[in-house]
Chain A
Amino acid sequence: MEHVINLFKDYTFQTVALGSGILGLISGILGTFAVLKKQSLLGDGVSHAALPGVVMAFLLTGAKDTEILLLGALTSGLLATLFILNIVKHTRIKFDSALALVMSVFFGLGLVLLTYVQKIPNSNQAGLKRFIFGQASTLLQKDVYFMTVCGAILLLLVILFWKEFKLFIFDAEYAKSLLFPTHRLNLLLSFMIVMGIIIGLQTVGVILMSAMLIAPAVAARQWTNRLWVMVMLSAFFGAVSGISGTAASSLSDKLPTGPAIVVVVSCIVIFSVLFAPGRGMLQKLIHRKNMKLLLKNKGGGADVSST
């Protein structure tokens, strides 16, 4: 217990936990829309596609400031998203194939650029890989401020376009017939999701970011049928797993933060899928058993087959 109390007084821990918590909150909210739009894996794709942007930003400016690298990541993430959307729009290739292709090609380009950078003398590119694979423990207070500002902007956008997003997600055709600019709404939403992913990159890394986007939303989906409750719950699950993952990693020796967060959030998903009232597996099993009993007691016996 004393460990835990000491931990919460620790300044580094406060920073990292706050950062992870905010990240969980943002990705929880945005993830709700990604999951409902059946584009959950966009997060995975975009976070891979960010690599060439990061290296390119470093190549062009020589700087390793978080903001500049993030700007590069954002650009190439958006570019990849545009490619994917256009391939799907103009050919018969399905979303998942387009995603897999664009993602791996962008990542390959990133690798090419990375090996190119390594050959330039005097370039100190040591931080780049860390940026891609994520290292929550290196979060600084500056980064947390940055995340908070971006998060606030994204949150504001969600509130502003709440009605439009809701309509667009559940009935895009209807939205179109009401003359909502569905194409632009789709772009805006994708842009926001990409931005959320990019913010999270340096905390949990490329691969684990997709879990942060999907898992809280999937867990929240099991408990409710209302959009605003789902968004709230998802944000809550995201924040809780961010903070408790950080705590677990600080308390245990050699436990990396990003994976710890993912394990926590996956546990929440498993719990929700099993025990959520109404939809959960347990409820379904009980319901099935009751139906069987009912059938046995009231529905008669084997005479069904004999007629």
Chain B
Amino acid sequence: MSPQLEILLIAITVAVACSLPGAFLVLRKMSMMSDSITHTILLGIVLAFFLTHDLSSPFLIAGAALIGLATVWLTETLNRTKLLSEDAAIGIVFPLLFSIAIILIAKYAGSVHLDTDSVLLGELAFAPFNRLIIFGYDIGAKAIYSTMALLLINLVFLIIFFKELKVVTFDPILAAVLGFSPTLLHYSLMFLVSMTTVGAFEAVGSVLVVAFMIGPPVTAYLLTDDLKHMLLLSALIGMVNAILGYYLAVVFDVSISGSMSVMTGLVFFLVFIIAPHRGLISSLRRRSRQKLEFGKKTLLFHLYNHTVTENEKQDTSPHALTAHFHWDKALADKIIGILLKEENIFIEDEVVKITEKGQKQSKMDYESLFAE
């Protein structure tokens, strides 16, 4: 396998492996927890390094994953005191743990190559240099196997506990009533998140793990309401981001992981604008339609109430209406135009009057508004 293909394969695997637990983070409103974990695992790595004195030891990964769990626990404990809000708890725990890690590195590990840059920034382009050699045979880059294992674990966990995760995410109280332990499942999911983070950050750097975890699920969230579809879509979007990002990086000769996260942003932006039902365009359209609907109803109600009063002219000339509702002229003209076309109103001597059809319509609107 050529190094290019290996890099691409690793990128795709990481993207898919990250997006699966990421979907649950987004749904559980815990997106920033992934950011927090990506920073604090540095402390786990440092502590495990002090115990083992070996930078390639698997205990480093175990230590990092454990600190990830500890971060979640600390944040939630702080949050449970009700003395501060959840986001503030995150913002206190992770800088503290991260600072301790940096101080430890600066004071005691100055001579080893364990600088913050390599942890935070990571570079995918170097992944193929690290080979996995079994019985003297070179069977490919190490990262391929580690990320594949990660993906497999995530997949198996999700498939086995799909039903439980679904209930816990959308209705934790029901889950508790049904006899699943929301806490246990929550921490299993968090363990998965921190393990995925540790596994992925070696390849792509810790900040970009956040882009991989949150980006595809958030994009998919704009496209579907179904959890299964959302998981499939986020895996797919993650894959597309990885491939496009890789080629972007090749063309401009820049950081691969960086350009993959830029691609994540671009794809999200595109979906954000054009997504059916939930995108920017349809949101703006819906709002203006609702504004018109509301205007039409308001005008009809107003006319309905004022047709019999004496100062009819004062109340229902187009000018008075515009001033009365604080509408600008364009909006008022539009609404009156539509209502005229629908034959709900007619204009006589510069006075807007309601037709019989309009009265019926207004009554119907009223009944539908105040129906039980």
Which residues of A are interface residues toward B (Cβ below 8 A)?
Answer: 35, 38-41, 43-44, 48, 86-87, 90-94, 96-116, 119, 129, 133, 207-208, 210-211, 213-215, 217-218, 221-222, 253-256, 258-260, 262-263, 266, 269, 273, 279-281
Q: Contacts A104-B207, A108-B207: A208 and B103 contacting too (C-beta < 8 A)?
A: no
Q: Contacts A108-B261, A111-B255: A262 and B222 contacting too (C-beta < 8 A)?
A: no
Question: A40: which of B91, B96, B218 is its contact (CB, 8 Å)?
Answer: B91
Q: Cβ of B95 and Cβ of A108 under 8 Å apart?
A: no
Complexed CA–CA distance, A114 and B100 (Å): 27
Closest-CB distance, A123 to chain B (whole angstroms):
14
**Residues of chain B from 80 to 104 with CB closer than 8 A to chain A in the complex:** 81, 83-85, 87-88, 90-92, 95-96, 98-100, 102-103
* Chain B residues bordering chain A, tally (CB within 8 A): 62
Is B310 at the interface (CB under 8 A from chain A)?
Answer: no
Residues of A within 8 A of B284 (CB): 90
Q: Cβ of A218 and Cβ of B272 under 8 Å apart?
A: no
List 23 A-B pairs, Cβ < 8 Å: A38-B85, A41-B90, A90-B284, A94-B31, A97-B31, A100-B214, A101-B214, A101-B268, A102-B265, A104-B214, A105-B265, A107-B211, A108-B262, A108-B264, A112-B259, A210-B91, A211-B99, A215-B91, A254-B106, A256-B102, A259-B99, A259-B100, A273-B83
Complexed CA–CA distance, A108 and B261 (Å): 5
Question: B116: which of A93, A133, A255 is its contact (CB, 8 Å)?
Answer: A133
Q: Cβ of A107 and Cβ of B207 under 8 Å apart?
A: yes
Question: B102: which of A87, A221, A222, A259 is its contact (CB, 8 Å)?
Answer: A259
Beyond contacts A44-B91, A99-B32, A106-B265: 8 other A-B pairs, Cβ-Cβ < 8 A, are: A48-B207, A87-B272, A104-B35, A104-B207, A108-B211, A112-B249, A115-B254, A210-B91
Q: Contacts A40-B91, A97-B26: A104 and B103 contacting too (C-beta < 8 A)?
A: no
Q: Cβ of B106 and Cβ of A100 under 8 Å apart?
A: no
Closest-CB distance, B156 to chain A (whole angstroms):
26
Q: Cβ of A38 and Cβ of B207 under 8 Å apart?
A: no
Closest-CB distance, A139 to chain B (whole angstroms):
18
| Identity of the chain B residue whose Cβ is nearest the Cβ of A39 in the assembled complex | B87
| Identity of the chain B residue whose Cβ is nearest the Cβ of A214 in the assembled complex | B91
Q: Cβ of A104 and Cβ of B100 under 8 Å apart?
A: no
Is B107 at the interface (CB under 8 A from chain A)?
Answer: yes
Is B128 at the interface (CB under 8 A from chain A)?
Answer: no
Is B210 at the interface (CB under 8 A from chain A)?
Answer: yes
